[in-house]
Amino acid sequence: MSAQAPTKRGLSKGQWTIVAVFLTCALPIVAAFYLYFFNKPEGTNNYGTILDPQVPVSQAVFKNINGEDFTMAEVANKWVLISTIQSSCDELCQKTLYYQRQARASKGKEQGRIERVVFVTDDGPLETLLLRQFPDVHFVRATPEQLSNWLPLQGGIVGSKGTEQVGGLHDHVFVADPLGHVMMRFPPNATLEFDKFRKDISRLLWASNIG
pLDDT score for 54: 94
Q: Residue type for 202, please?
A: S
pLDDT score for 11: 62
127-180 residue pLDDT tens: 999 999 999 999 999 999 999 999 999 989 998 899 999 999 999 999 999 999
- Rounded to 10°, the helix 194-207/13-33 angle is 160
Q: Which domains does the chain have, with CATH numbers?
A: 13-207 (3.40.30.10)
33-69 residue pLDDT tens: 554 454 443 456 899 999 989 999 999 999 999 999 9
Mean pLDDT of 114-127: 97
| Pairing assessment for the beta strands 173-176 and 181-185 based on DSSP bridges | antiparallel
pTM for the complete prediction?
0.79
pLDDT score for 170: 97
Mean pLDDT of 182-206: 96
Counting residues of the chain whose pLDDT is more than 70, the rounded percentage is 78
> What are the distances in angstroms from CA 127 to CA 88, 100, 152, 155?
8, 19, 28, 35
pLDDT score for 135: 95
With b meaning 16 or more CB within 10 Å and e meaning fewer, what string describes 122-147? Answer: eeeebeeebeeebeebbbbbbeeeeb
